[in-house]
Amino acid sequence: MRLHTTLIAAGALAALALYWTQAPGEAPAPPPQDPDLFAFVRSMEGTRPDGNLTVSAGETLKVDAELGHLFDYYLAGLGEKPLEAIRSQIELELERRLPPGPAREAKRLLAAYLSYKQALVLTEQALPSSADALQAASARLQAMRALRPAYFTEQESAGLFGALDARDDDALARMVVLQDSTLGDAEQQRRLAALDAALSPAQRLERDAPLQVSALDASVRALRAQGGGDNEVYQLRAATFSPEAAARLAELDREEAHWQQRIMAWKAQKAALGAQDAAQLAQLAATLFSPEEQRRLGAYE
């Protein structure tokens, strides 16, 4: 599941900042001892690793955004696992997916990627603060791109970050238009339309994807309200996206239904116990939910 990015992958970067800015000699907090029965970290349960890695006919690794997506997927687990455990897991995934030669090259790029991210954290912290969002965003982008030649060749940078840079440039250009108080409404819309027209088909598809998901969700709700069953919902989703996506969404539906059933059981038993015995309430929650799930129960109080 690709959880990705506007100007900078802020969530992963923030987690990296916490890891890399500890006091000298301070060890990272140990990971939970619970066994990871279903995923590398609990928050990744129900997801599959990003990154469609490819190798050319000459067994040369294709360095593109998909490789970065794989790295970022696992780096999102910082806070639940220490960095070295995450790096080891990425390397295992690279060995599993790639022939030996491309796997070695991908590991080299992983080491460079982690060093680059570490340097980026420190560079961002050194940037002067600015109340101007446009100026701050522009400064972050310039600093980010200025760092890359120390870690990647020009071709590697283009492969790993080219698509992200195109999105960032488009976002920055739109910020310029929207913050220009000298533009009238008509001129502002004309310039935004020109930016829309300049998007590549891939960029346009990525931009429209959330709207497509939202429209599909509304169609599914309407179909169910009219008596449509799981088979009809599957066919609608498969026609909109793919059979694989429809199967995964059906699985998520079942997981959500099971969660809601447990929540209802918890509420009913909690009401029967009353709010007097904290120990019994805690035992009830522990019976029905994992420690991680119990942290979500406050939203249902």
Say how far apart CA 120 and CA 134 lie, in whole Å: 19
Backbone angles phi, psi at 61, to 5 degrees: -65, 135
For the cut 60, the answer to whether the pLDDT of residue 25 exceeds it is no
Both 28 and 72 in one domain: the answer is yes
Both 218 and 129 in one domain: the answer is no
Confidence of residue 26 (pLDDT cuts 50, 70, 90): very low
Confidence of residue 6 (pLDDT cuts 50, 70, 90): very low
Both 285 and 141 in one domain: the answer is no
Both 228 and 286 in one domain: the answer is no
For the cut 70, the answer to whether the pLDDT of residue 35 exceeds it is no
* Residue carrying structure tokens 């972050």: 140
Q: pLDDT of 272-292, one tens digit each?
A: 877 667 788 888 888 888 887
pLDDT at 268: 85
Task: Give the residue from 164, 189, 217 where a domain finishes.
Answer: 164
Specify the higher pLDDT residue, 63 or 58: 63
If one counts the domains in the chain, the total is 3
Averaged pLDDT for residues 46-66:
84
Which residues, 6+ apart, have CB-to-CB distance to 300 below 8 Å?
A: 263, 266, 267
Task: Give the residue from 135, 164, 193 where a domain finishes.
Answer: 164
Both 221 and 101 in one domain: the answer is no
Tell me how far apart the terminal alpha carbons of the chain are, to the nearest angstrom: 29
Confidence of residue 301 (pLDDT cuts 50, 70, 90): low
Number of residues in the chain: 301
Q: pLDDT of 250-259, one tens digit each?
A: 888 888 888 8
Most confident range, picked from 55-69, 137-151, 226-240, 265-279: 137-151
pLDDT at 39: 59
Both 297 and 211 in one domain: the answer is no
In a domain, 116, yes or no: yes
Both 105 and 234 in one domain: the answer is no
Neighbours of 145 (CB within 10 A): 13
Q: pLDDT of 91-132, one tens digit each?
A: 999 999 999 999 999 999 999 999 999 999 999 889 888 888
Which residue range forms the structural domain that includes residue 211? 202-241
In a domain, 189, yes or no: no
Give the angle subtended at the CA of 131 by the CAs of 207 and 186, to the nearest 5°.
Answer: 50
In a domain, 185, yes or no: no
Both 263 and 236 in one domain: the answer is no
Task: Give the residue from 112, 145, 164 where a domain finishes.
Answer: 164
User: Of all residues in the chain, what percent carry a pLDDT higher than 90?
Assistant: 39
In a domain, 279, yes or no: yes
Confidence of residue 247 (pLDDT cuts 50, 70, 90): confident
In a domain, 103, yes or no: yes
pLDDT at 10: 43
Specify the higher pLDDT residue, 1 or 98: 98
Both 226 and 254 in one domain: the answer is no
In a domain, 187, yes or no: no
In a domain, 53, yes or no: yes
Both 148 and 3 in one domain: the answer is yes
Both 215 and 257 in one domain: the answer is no
Q: pLDDT of 175-196, one tens digit each?
A: 999 999 999 999 999 999 999 9
pLDDT at 173: 94
Structure tokens at 97: 């997916």
pLDDT at 36: 40
Both 36 and 99 in one domain: the answer is yes
pLDDT at 24: 44
Averaged pLDDT of the chain: 82
In a domain, 4, yes or no: yes
